[in-house]
């Protein structure tokens, strides 16, 4: 889950879904929403998530 305040990425347990949790980096309160499993996502949603993850993790990616 990405924090809108600091841009940090955090992971939360499924048990905390639909609850507010503090961001571990900036301590801003975040509403934790459950994520869909890959089987529940459309092909377009899966591809969008893959592209976003690739942008964040691919060392060859250069921002415009």
Averaged pLDDT, 1-5? 66
Q: Is position 63 within any domain?
A: no
Residue 55: predicted pLDDT: 76
Q: Is position 49 within any domain?
A: yes
Tell me how many domains the chain contains: 1
Q: Is position 64 within any domain?
A: no
Q: Is position 62 within any domain?
A: no
Residue 17: predicted pLDDT: 57
Cα(36)–Cα(30) distance, integer angstroms: 18
What's the CA dihedral at 52, 15, 11, 29 to 10 degrees? 100
* pLDDT tens readout for residues 21-54: 777 778 888 777 666 666 777 888 888 888 887 7
Q: What range defines the domain where residue 23 resides?
A: 1-57
């Amino acid at each position: 889950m990405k924090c809108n305040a600091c841009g940090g990425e955090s992971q939360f347990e499924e048990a905390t879904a639909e609850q507010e949790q503090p961001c571990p980096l900036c301590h801003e309160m975040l509403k934790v929403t459950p994520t869909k499993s890959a089987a529940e996502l459309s092909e377009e949603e899966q591809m969008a998530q893959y592209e976003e993850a690739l942008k964040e993790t691919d060392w060859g990616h250069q921002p415009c």
